[in-house]
Amino acid sequence: MEGINHITIFGIHLTINQVAFKLPFGGGWEIRWYGIIIALGFVLALLYAYKYSKRFNINLDKALDVVIITVPVAIVCARLYYMIFDSEEGFAWSDLLPSGGGFSGLAIYGGVIGAFVCGGLMCYFKKINVLDMFDLASIGFLIGQGVGRWGNFTNQEAFGSPTGSSFFGMTSENVRYTFAEIGYNPNALAHPCFLYESIWCLAGVFLLHKLSKNRKFSGETFLMYGVWYGFGRTIIEGLRTDSLMIGYLRVSQVLSAAFCIVCGVLLVLIRLKIKQNESADGYENILADENLKAQEEEENE
């Protein structure tokens, strides 16, 4: 039956309907698990921002104004990114229409780029410190990405090449079809790349949350996000069988590696500069004091 996935992962057999339920209008408007899971990740990211905005010196009301504008822009950018690099069909503006697929193909990097560009502009207009906002948003992105990857599981996409194991891995109709199409053994088990990235992102949430308590400068958490996510995505993307390509290059893998390296270099250089200033001038880190004060206020609430 269309929309029903029969999945085996680590020896566990599952049957998942991509459609969670149908609304009683519009001919039975389908609400899919993919959309529900993405929405859940978004809500959890908002709840994190609500609780910890003070730590990042962010006015929550202004931040929500930024989010309201940025989210739809990010979704459109995620779709455009996919359309640009999807070599099978080629780019056509009509693909944004329901008859052309609407928003059925999204790429997370397009959403990330769109969110940070639009969010940066909105911060300027709302007079919010852009780098502080980026720091807060970075952890929110990891939450959304970590949860949202399970939407790929319900759709049976974002899986990798064969694991070479008779137990470790996953299979489904989509896996077998894809493997047969590209010349792999269709009965082989695939790397569950959605799971790898989900675990990596959620681990990053806990790591960056802990490190953000003692930020040395505005933008530090964002740079850590770039290093953490960029490194993990570079490795995981190399396993996938459905990467967007430019020639023989995996677009997201190249972008991830560049993101990781650039953020890593900037992080080291800025920290060295701060350390030199502290040694030479007895520099007092005002931001660290503000973060400590905000943290104490959180604990007292």
Cα–Cα nearest to 262, from 222, 207, 202, 203: 222
Instruction: List pLDDT tens digits, range 51-91.
Output: 999 999 999 999 999 999 999 998 888 888 888 777 565 65
Q: Give residues with Cβ within 8 angstroms of 292, minimum separation 6.
A: none
Using CA atoms, how far residue 109 sits from 15, 68, 184, 222, in Å, is 30, 19, 28, 15
- Contact yes or no for 267/227 (Cβ under 8 A): yes
Above 50 in pLDDT, residue 283?
no
Q: What is the pLDDT of residue 18?
A: 92
| pTM, entire model | 0.85
Checking 266-275 for CB contacts under 8 A at 24+ apart, the result is 266/223, 267/220, 267/223, 267/224, 267/227, 270/216, 270/217, 270/219, 270/220, 270/223, 271/216, 274/216, 274/217
pLDDT tens digit string along 93-126?
666 665 555 556 677 888 888 998 999 999 999 9
For the ranges 10-19, 31-40, 91-100, 217-226, the lowest mean pLDDT is seen at 91-100
Share of the chain above pLDDT 90, in %: 66
